[in-house]
Chain A
């Protein structure tokens, strides 16, 4: 198996840097391209970024809480199916 670019030392660092630059760029671009949506808050600077981030944090936490209540081992239904 030939080595993949991503496996080479330093590649992961480069990807991370690129990702951070991309994040900064899409927010900064709002200075050039005006964002207007259907409702007022969408025009706020960085609104979609903040909203997307917070919504995801919220959903992960809710899922985590649900997991505490609702998660069962893989074989949970295994024994109970045969009457």
Chain B
């Protein structure tokens, strides 16, 4: 019997509640203390099922620990701390509280021992991430938040249908590796993949995240997609379909980011790209590849958070978010520039940064299974990451042309948060052993060999050369790029409008027909019953008798026939 433990998600949730109730002066303390208290609780969770509760005849497993779950919960707690530090003086307390509740959802999913608990925390994330988006405070944020909420609640229903199917057909609510054998498991996969921003529902991420506040984007970049990766590792390891889904996401992210002008949308597309790498890893499904997916999720949360922070800092200081309106900011924002470059090098997997020690594990996983084509596609994609995020983001914002803007570096708490995450990115890159010790499977992988470092440097530096040679082709245009969401944002709307118009036309036609028919009827009735009509005329007795005789004859004839 396990001793009593406090579920880490509940610690975070209580913190969110306290944040809402506390005096304004106490809020910064609570916002910073809550993630740290949660982190402590995370590390108190031992392996195995730790806490259960009866519910509807099921014994719910509220908290189940293992290395993988602790890894994700750790990085979620740390990111909640970094995000809170970044948001401390700028975000409203409602936003901070919502972000904490959102993080609580992610941590709850991390430790969920069964599908019901997972679903409950899954929906908690959907609700509070929507609130975080709404805290962007603009009309665009309101609309994007509604679209986001509709999609994610729909995804939640799909997931729930799948979970209930599995419960009914197997009698088990256990979280374990499933096979795509029937409707139920397909529905679960679809529900999880929606949160991973897999095709064809990738567009929500670039639609909603960039509308959030400067700090909101930092929180949003961390939780939803990475809990989906964790769920995929737990539920669908080695599902071959995921290799193809992941590859699509990897290249989708690169190509759409290349076309994008809004700097936080570039980063949002690049989340899809990075999650694609993780999904490929889950699809390969070997210990090496799963380790790689988990490690990459861990490092990704820090460098993507860092990139969103630097983009948020620029937005906070200038109010602008378009590449075409920015440029040359390194002059007045040196620290932000440096931190953005650290984030950009990390996402590109430069040696000595965190991305280098995690992404290559996924490639090594592909190589271990002799998947040569996949291996070289991932290599091309690595070059593409440098292209769309590694150079493009810092170049267009901080260098490029002189936009004439001279914003200062952001306030102290924002600077501290950026420095903290930048330090983590480099620390993990220099001491990969610390990360490898947290991974679910033992790591025999050595990232730093002369061959690996050199070939990675060649790959990235020549990708950089391609960027600068092709610069004329990359000129930013004030455009959006159509995606699958066109089908429901435009086509569906057009169909609905056409149906409405058709209905209107039919109603008009029916009304006209009815009017014409009633006019005709009243005319006929008038002719028959009106003055001088057949039925209102007075008939001579003889005519009547004749008609009666005729009718009787017909009757008799019919009778004998």
Question: Are A57 and B470 in touch, CB under 8 angstroms?
Answer: yes
Give the interface SS of chain B, mostly helix, strand, loop or mixed: helix
- Whole-angstrom distance between the Cβ of A67 and the nearest chain B Cβ: 5
Q: Which residues of chain A (27-77) have a CB below 8 Å from chain B? A: 27, 29-30, 33-39, 41-42, 46-53, 55-64, 66-67, 70-74, 76-77
Q: Whose C-beta in chain A lies nearest to the C-beta of B251? A: A59
Number of A-B pairs, beta carbon distance below 8 Å:
155
Of A42, A49, A60, chain B has the most CB atoms within 10 Å of the CB of A60
Q: Whose C-beta in chain B lies nearest to the C-beta of A66? A: B255
Question: Are A26 and B454 in touch, CB under 8 angstroms?
Answer: yes
- Given the interface pairs A39-B367, A51-B379, A51-B459, the reply to whether A73 lies near B465 with Cβ below 8 Å is no
B457 interfacial by beta-carbon distance below 8 Å:
yes
- Whole-angstrom distance between the Cβ of A77 and the nearest chain B Cβ: 6
Question: Are B383 and A51 in touch, CB under 8 angstroms?
Answer: yes
B57 interfacial by beta-carbon distance below 8 Å:
no
Q: Residues of B contacting A83 with CB < 8 Å?
A: 493, 496-497
Contact of B467 among A50, A56, A70, A74 (CB under 8 A): A56
Bound-state CA distance A80–B474 (Å) is 28
Question: Are B451 and A49 in touch, CB under 8 angstroms?
Answer: no
- Whole-angstrom distance between the Cβ of B20 and the nearest chain A Cβ: 32
- Given the interface pairs A55-B383, A59-B387, A71-B479, the reply to whether A33 lies near B450 with Cβ below 8 Å is yes
Q: Residues of B contacting A55 with CB < 8 Å?
A: 379-380, 383-384, 463
A17 interfacial by beta-carbon distance below 8 Å:
no
- Given the interface pairs A56-B387, A63-B259, A70-B482, the reply to whether A37 lies near B466 with Cβ below 8 Å is no
- Given the interface pairs A23-B461, A27-B458, A33-B451, the reply to whether A57 lies near B482 with Cβ below 8 Å is no
Give the interface SS of chain A, mostly helix, strand, loop or mixed: helix
- Given the interface pairs A55-B463, A63-B259, the reply to whether A48 lies near B455 with Cβ below 8 Å is yes
Q: Which residues of chain B (104-146) have a CB below 8 Å from chain A? A: 143
Contact of B480 among A4, A49, A71 (CB under 8 A): A71
Q: Whose C-beta in chain B lies nearest to the C-beta of A54? A: B466
Of A29, A35, A36, A59, chain B has the most CB atoms within 10 Å of the CB of A59
Question: Are A52 and B493 in touch, CB under 8 angstroms?
Answer: no
Q: Residues of B contacting A23 with CB < 8 Å?
A: 461-462, 465
Kindly supply a per-residue 1/0 record for chain B positions 472-499, scoring 1 wherever the CB is within 8 Å of any chain A CB and 0 otherwise.
0110011111110000011001001100
Number of A residues contacting the other chain (C-beta, 8 Å)? 50
Q: Whose C-beta in chain A lies nearest to the C-beta of B482? A: A70
Number of B residues contacting the other chain (C-beta, 8 Å)? 54
Q: Residues of A contacting B464 with CB < 8 Å?
A: 19
Question: Are A80 and B384 in touch, CB under 8 angstroms?
Answer: no
Question: Are A67 and B457 in touch, CB under 8 angstroms?
Answer: no
- Whole-angstrom distance between the Cβ of B204 and the nearest chain A Cβ: 13
Question: Are A39 and B375 in touch, CB under 8 angstroms?
Answer: yes
Question: Are A22 and B461 in touch, CB under 8 angstroms?
Answer: yes
Bound-state CA distance A4–B52 (Å) is 61
B282 interfacial by beta-carbon distance below 8 Å:
no
Bound-state CA distance A74–B325 (Å) is 14
Question: Are B454 and A29 in touch, CB under 8 angstroms?
Answer: yes
Bound-state CA distance A34–B452 (Å) is 10
Bound-state CA distance A72–B455 (Å) is 39
Question: Are A49 and B458 in touch, CB under 8 angstroms?
Answer: yes
Q: Whose C-beta in chain B lies nearest to the C-beta of A69? A: B482
Question: Are A38 and B375 in touch, CB under 8 angstroms?
Answer: yes
Question: Are B481 and A66 in touch, CB under 8 angstroms?
Answer: yes
Question: Are A37 and B455 in touch, CB under 8 angstroms?
Answer: yes
Question: Are A51 and B380 in touch, CB under 8 angstroms?
Answer: yes
- Given the interface pairs A26-B457, A59-B254, A60-B466, the reply to whether A72 lies near B482 with Cβ below 8 Å is yes
B44 interfacial by beta-carbon distance below 8 Å:
no
Q: Which residues of chain B (355-382) have a CB below 8 Å from chain A? A: 363-364, 367, 372, 375-376, 379-380
Of A30, A47, A66, A70, chain B has the most CB atoms within 10 Å of the CB of A70
What are 23 inter-chain pairs, A to B, with CB distance below 8 A? A1-B331, A7-B331, A30-B458, A34-B450, A35-B455, A36-B451, A37-B451, A38-B363, A48-B379, A48-B455, A48-B459, A49-B461, A51-B459, A53-B462, A55-B463, A56-B387, A56-B467, A67-B479, A70-B259, A70-B482, A71-B482, A74-B479, A83-B496
Inter-chain pairs besides A34-B451, A41-B376, 8 sampled, C-beta below 8 Å: A38-B363, A39-B372, A48-B379, A56-B383, A56-B466, A57-B470, A59-B255, A71-B480
The chain B residues found within 8 Å of chain A, CB to CB, are 143, 251, 254-255, 258-259, 261, 330-332, 363-364, 367, 372, 375-376, 379-380, 383-384, 387, 406, 450-452, 454-467, 470, 473-474, 477-483, 489-490, 493, 496-497
